[in-house]
Structure 1
């Protein structure tokens, strides 16, 4: 999957350049030149990776797009209250179950858990994945912070027995990102955090919501800050789609694994949801 990672890095560079120069309305030529590619090579690589042109991609990360889809997400979340988290609801397509454990429960039982982990490549950059016999328990994206992400992973599952297996990790990542296999998720958090993460699974591909939407969905309209904190503590990136939650203004700020990656994930999903 090395080509995925190299393409992601090029796309990330392009988005950083656009973010820094958007007021000047840079052309595709300028963006391509800045990342060291010809215009046509850039367009070809970009389209091969994302499935759309750079211009279509840029349109999908505008505030106007986000504001339009916030309204859509509100109705989906409202309707899902009646449906619940049953198989008939439009849960995230990649898994069938979420198992939660509180910090207290983990302190009592965590020493018996074996977590296999490893590093591998995904279409959205290098990642660290950890999994148990109950399901995936960690997925964090890596830029130039490999040690930081690993230490975060170790701190979260401090009582577990960790087993490094890069081959198994890469097989997991390929099954998730290439073969779209379904997996259970195993998370550790407070009851509120776990409920917030369950709510995020009700957001389908291509849909974004606000922090207030999630708080309302949980019948805690005054707990927006607590909800935002819970979203920020999500330790299974992409699979629990915290990248789909944005500010009420439509701004796509704040993402544990980088704002450029958040924009890429939202745009990728929105432009491919009908394909």
Structure 2
């Protein structure tokens, strides 16, 4: 049974998909509202409640031209200067609190044999998700409407693990990221199954500040493989932890958003939502 939050997100996602397809026309609120079969006033109210800003302002965050400007602005600063300025109180960026630990070679080789994994289902601003954790940290998070399919995908990731449906503190800490107030956000610990190169790429993604974007080529340079954009793209596409490892912040060098494991509409929604949140935190 769908929750009201899920119903609202699906309606907003429909609007965002229309905006994504027609951003060059800069459609008015009235036009978008008509496409999702709502009155302009009702649509504006629902959208603002979800995103924290008006549909018009949100459109600015997800246009290609805005993406290009964000890339240009972050060219020289990216993450280094983020340590130097403004990271206090509610303006702190969640990336500073995410820590990655790779699984041991034995755990990796044997498909997490005998590893105890807790999992639970939760709601987010971007639809239902599944989150799973070991005793060391969150090992998996994915957006998925169908709980049975979500669980099956988790089992495929760790074919030899022992599973229990249980919401634990590690998962709760991770889910706090979707709350508006990050001033008391605890450190989020991840326990990931990946090659050395994948872990290196995922750690690089954590250095992209919220509200900023990067490109595959730039990430390749940062991990010491300037000609390895394709390998970087493959590693990004293998990201096992949705949102917490922000692969959604990597776009094409042209400024277009490109693909996303959990859907291009969801990627667009996340980029716009983060743009709004990062501005409101200043």
TM-score range, shorter chain: 0.7 to 0.9
Distance 2:96 2:130 in 1: 18
Report the CA distance shift for 1:210/1:23 in structure 2 as closer, same or farther (over 3 A). closer
| Alignment counterpart, residue 102 of structure 2, candidates 100, 103, 111 | 100
Unaligned runs of 5+ in 2: 85-91
Distance 2:98 2:239 in 1: 18
CA offset at residue 122 of structure 1?
0.8
Correspondences of 1:1-275 after superposition (within 5 Å)? 2-22=3-23, 25-77=26-78, 79=80, 92-93=94-95, 95-101=97-103, 104-108=106-110, 110-143=112-145, 146-165=147-166, 171=172, 174-178=175-179, 180=182, 181-182=185-186, 183-275=188-280
Which sits farther off after the overlay, 145-154 or 246-255? 145-154
After superposition, give the CA deviation of every residue in 1:154-193 in whole Å (9 maximum; x if it has no partner). 1111121111136989855653322643310111111110
Unaligned runs of 5+ in 1: 84-89
Please state whether the residue corresponding to 1:186 is helix, strand or coil. Answer: strand
Distance 1:79 1:32 in 2: 41
Residue pair 2:62, 2:272 contacting (<8 A) in 1 also: yes
TM-score between the two structures when normalised by the length of structure 2: 0.84
Please state whether the residue corresponding to 2:257 is helix, strand or coil. Answer: coil
Report the CA distance shift for 1:153/1:73 in structure 2 as closer, same or farther (over 3 A). farther
Report the CA distance shift for 1:221/1:171 in structure 2 as closer, same or farther (over 3 A). closer
CA offset at residue 11 of structure 1?
0.9
CA offset at residue 28 of structure 1?
1.6
Please state whether the residue corresponding to 2:267 is helix, strand or coil. Answer: helix
Which sits farther off after the overlay, 53-62 or 90-99? 90-99
TM-score between the two structures when normalised by the length of structure 1: 0.86
Size of the aligned set, in residue pairs, is 267
Report the CA distance shift for 1:218/1:91 in structure 2 as closer, same or farther (over 3 A). farther
Distance 2:80 2:168 in 1: 41
Distance 1:267 1:188 in 2: 30
Please state whether the residue corresponding to 1:251 is helix, strand or coil. Answer: coil
Report the CA distance shift for 1:207/1:25 in structure 2 as closer, same or farther (over 3 A). closer
